[in-house]
Amino acid sequence: MTKIKKYNVADTIYDNFDYSKSLEFIKTQAKDRKKILDVNCRNGKLLTLLEKEGFDVMGITPSRKHAMLAEKQAGLLVKRKSILKFKTKEKFDVITSLYSACNRYKNYIGIDLALNRMNKCLSDDGIIILELMKTPKKTTSIQNESSTSTIKRKKEKVKVVNTYKLDNKEFKFKNKYKIFDIEKIERIAKKNGLKVDGVFRDYYVKIPDEYGDNIQIVLSKNKEETTKEAKKRKRQFVTKKGKVKTLSRKVYFATMIFMACSGVFVGTLIGDFYNSNFANASSFDYTKEQIETAIAKDNYSAINTSEAPSKYNATLVYMFCENNITNYNVQLKETGALQVMGVNQTIGNLTTIAPSKRTKVAASISSLISTATKTVYDVENNKVFQYSGTPKNLDMNDPEVIKEGQEFLTNWSDPKELSVEDYQKEWGVIPAWISPYVICSETVFEASTFKKETKDGVDLFSATLTLKTKYNSPSSDENRLMAYARYVKQISAMSGVTVTDVESCKITFTIDSTYKLRHVDIEETYNVRYGVIPVTCPSKLSQEYNYF
């Protein structure tokens, strides 16, 4: 015995409907119109009857089973779509939405959207036929031989439970409906460029018959609408309770401008977030192992210090000097300035380097922001301690500043302990390095030849390194390490802006004949975002090395 499924029972009910009244009503209203679109066409039974009457029919339904059944049994063109999502270039002479399909919408906004979509599919002389249900105001129970119906109405909502008996089995169908006011429907139709041609009652008595009268509304395009009315209609909107409201021109255009500006603002923020967190990540975010691997490719350790620096490539010489700086006791004094939004930011850094300990005090002062940090790197224990405070002065000529750097700040914060790996994630490089950049052949775009000069009886050698940026190196250079990674993060932290990229960067360094760094000048131009505003900022930094 074949098992009866619930949707088979529903199809049986639909097939046994008396479609005669609705069929005659459509034929009367359609007149010479032949192309019909039936919205929520169920299993296509009505479309089959219309096709026999000579109509060119098409149906849409959100039900996959009904769409397949209509195409399989009747060979009809039925698309599985809701009218709210239905798009087509075809124009229809008649669009029908019968048997309380519109009452399934939860509020008047659904009616508004449905009529808007129907109007776009309607030919110039076409009509729309809607059916809306009416029910008793009190709970009603109706019973006959094959079915039982219970109708519960609460304010504007109706719950209907139909119980059908088939082969000694009961099948329940539960439906919820929203009761709409006919006058509000008329106003919503007008808001969508439609006019009411007629309102009819009870062309078809709903199952069960005792539900009460149903309302049929026939709509057509409002050809008498003036240009002024059409413009006003575009500023109208429908509330959930069915009120049609119109924005004033000032409010309307102010809203449009606000939405446009909001779109630009949000788009810029998203672009900025993407750029700073994703687009640059592959270029800026690297590990200690990646750095060491890149540097290992350059055999700078083969440099013989008994020979003149001018014999070697300037990039290799700088790498040699930088990585051998920890063999000495050095105090590095840095001074410079950067511009953010046209405001000068003065920078002062003091770094003390010893084989077992490195200490760096970095301060930045301007009218916008003044801040400073102290970093102590315990080499033996592989720990980093960070302090924060407020700069007092940046007078590098003050002996106390040169001695300890204590006059940079007052009231240091409690130290924050970090591992070398955590420090690298925050600042972009390991704390052992004195340069704010990663220097190797993969990060240097161009290196000049050495220039020699004698000063106070000491031979000095100078060269310039031009670092790679996305402006002077190909984007397909996947192996490059963006040389300014640490400084990008440092500027962001110290100035409160987001650095997105560096346009240019040059490092001019001076060493003596024993390969000791004596002086370094860094010139660069980088781009930042201050909020959503893109700003190009120039920066200069000078480093002076004192050995003791």
* DSSP characters over 401-432: HHHH-GGGEESPPPPEEEEHHHHHHHHSS-TT
Residues 334 and 189 both lie in one domain: no
Residues 150 and 289 both lie in one domain: no
Dist CA 237 CA 233 (whole Å): 8
pLDDT grade for 126, boundaries at 50, 70 and 90: very high
Do the beta carbons of residue 495 and residue 340 sit within 8 Å? yes
CA distances from 177 to 6, 133, 240 (A): 21, 9, 15
- At 350-368, the pLDDT tens digits run 888 887 888 888 777 776 6
Residues 428 and 382 both lie in one domain: yes
Residues 6+ apart with CB under 8 A from 175: 104, 159, 160, 161, 162
Whole-angstrom Cα Rg for the chain: 40
Across 274-295, average pLDDT: 57
Q: Which residues of 251-265 are buried (b: 16+ CB within 10 A; e: fewer)?
A: eeeeeeeeeeeeeee
In a domain, 262, yes or no: no
Residues 234 and 285 both lie in one domain: no
> Which of 245, 265, 293 is where one domain is finished?
245
> Which of 220, 245, 270 is where one domain is finished?
245
pLDDT grade for 94, boundaries at 50, 70 and 90: very high
- What's the confidence (pLDDT) of residue 251? 74
Residues 233 and 324 both lie in one domain: no
Phi, psi of 307 (to 5 degrees): -100, 160
In a domain, 316, yes or no: yes
Residues 109 and 214 both lie in one domain: yes
CA atoms lying within 13 Å on the CB side of residue 9: 18
Residues 355 and 487 both lie in one domain: yes
pLDDT grade for 509, boundaries at 50, 70 and 90: very high
Residue 288 has a CB neighbour count (10 Å cut-off) of: 13
- Give the whole-number percent of the chain exceeding pLDDT 70: 74
The pTM for the full model equals 0.49
Regarding beta strands 157-166 and 409-410, do their DSSP bridges make them parallel or antiparallel, or are they unpaired? unpaired
Higher-pLDDT residue of 485 and 431 is 431
Residues 307 and 448 both lie in one domain: yes
The angle, 0 to 180 degrees and rounded to 10, between the axes of the packed helices 45-52 and 20-30 is 50
In a domain, 257, yes or no: no
> Which of 222, 245, 268 is where one domain is finished?
245
- 366: nearest Cα among 338, 385, 389, 386: 338
- At 102-114, the pLDDT tens digits run 888 888 998 999 9
- Give the whole-number percent of the chain exceeding pLDDT 90: 20
Average pLDDT over the chain, rounded to an integer: 78
- What's the confidence (pLDDT) of residue 255? 74
14: its two tokens: 């639909």
In a domain, 74, yes or no: yes
Total domain count for the chain? 2
Across 289-311, average pLDDT: 85
Domain that holds residue 464: 280-547
Residues 382 and 521 both lie in one domain: yes
Residues 286 and 216 both lie in one domain: no
Residue 492 has a CB neighbour count (10 Å cut-off) of: 16
- What's the confidence (pLDDT) of residue 85? 85
In a domain, 260, yes or no: no
To which residue do tokens 């200490």 refer? Answer: 359
- pLDDT of residue 274 exceeding 50, the answer is no
Mean pLDDT check: name the lowest of 24-38, 185-199, 208-222, 451-465.
Answer: 208-222
385: its two tokens: 């301690």
In a domain, 254, yes or no: no
- What's the confidence (pLDDT) of residue 208? 38
- 44: nearest Cα among 81, 75, 22: 75
- pLDDT of residue 9 exceeding 70, the answer is no
Q: Which residues of 425-436 are buried (b: 16+ CB within 10 A; e: fewer)?
A: eebbbbbebbbb
Higher-pLDDT residue of 498 and 233 is 233
540: its two tokens: 């200069």
Do the beta carbons of residue 394 and residue 404 sit within 8 Å? no
Residues 224 and 92 both lie in one domain: yes
In a domain, 261, yes or no: no
Dist CA 99 CA 18 (whole Å): 12
- What's the confidence (pLDDT) of residue 339? 74
Task: Look up residue 342 and give its amino acid.
Answer: G
- What's the confidence (pLDDT) of residue 379? 83
- pLDDT of residue 281 exceeding 50, the answer is no
- What's the confidence (pLDDT) of residue 280? 45
Higher-pLDDT residue of 500 and 57 is 57
Do the beta carbons of residue 79 and residue 67 sit within 8 Å? yes
Residues 42 and 189 both lie in one domain: yes
Domain with 68 in it: what CATH number?
A: 3.40.50.150
> What is residue 87's three-state secondary structure?
coil
- What's the confidence (pLDDT) of residue 507? 94
To which residue do tokens 């000791």 refer? Answer: 516
Phi, psi of 459 (to 5 degrees): -80, 125
Q: Give the range with max mean pLDDT: 276-290, 318-332, 418-432.
A: 318-332
In a domain, 250, yes or no: no
- pLDDT of residue 338 exceeding 50, the answer is yes
Mean pLDDT check: name the lowest of 86-100, 145-159, 230-244.
Answer: 145-159
- pLDDT of residue 277 exceeding 50, the answer is no
Sheet holding 215-221, edge to edge: 78-80, 56-61, 35-39, 92-97, 122-132, 215-221, 194-201
- What's the confidence (pLDDT) of residue 478? 58
